Structure 1
Amino acid sequence: MTASFTSTVRQAGLVLAVAASLSALSSTSSFAFSPEAQQMCTGDAFRLCSSEIPNIPKITACMFKHRAELSSGCRTVMERDLAAQKKKVATADSN
Structure 2
Amino acid sequence: MTFHHTSRIALLFAIAFATTALSVTPSLAFSSEAQQMCTGDAMRLCGHEVPNVQRITACMVRQRANLSPGCRAVMERGHAARRRAAAAE
Query: Do Structure 1 and Structure 2 share a fold, with TM-score over 0.5?
Result: yes
Q: Which residue of 1 aligns with 2:55?
A: 58
Aligned residue pairs total 81
Q: Which residue of 2 aligns with 1:31?
A: 22
**RMSD after superposition:** 2.4
The percent identity for this pair of structures is 46
Distance 1:70 1:42 in 2: 11
Alpha-carbon distance, 1:50 to partner: 1.0
Q: If the length of structure 1 is used for normalisation, what is the TM-score?
A: 0.66
Q: Which residue of 1 aligns with 2:6?
A: 13
Alpha-carbon distance, 1:34 to partner: 4.3
Distance 2:53 2:46 in 1: 11
Q: If the length of structure 2 is used for normalisation, what is the TM-score?
A: 0.69
SS in 2 for 1:63: helix
Larger radius of gyration: 1
Distance 1:90 1:38 in 2: 28
Q: Which residue of 1 aligns with 2:41?
A: 44
Q: Which residue of 1 aligns with 2:68?
A: 71
The unaligned stretches of length 5 or more in structure 1 are 1-6
The unaligned stretches of length 5 or more in structure 2 are 24-28
Alpha-carbon distance, 1:42 to partner: 0.9
Alpha-carbon distance, 1:52 to partner: 1.6
Amino acid at match of 2:55: K
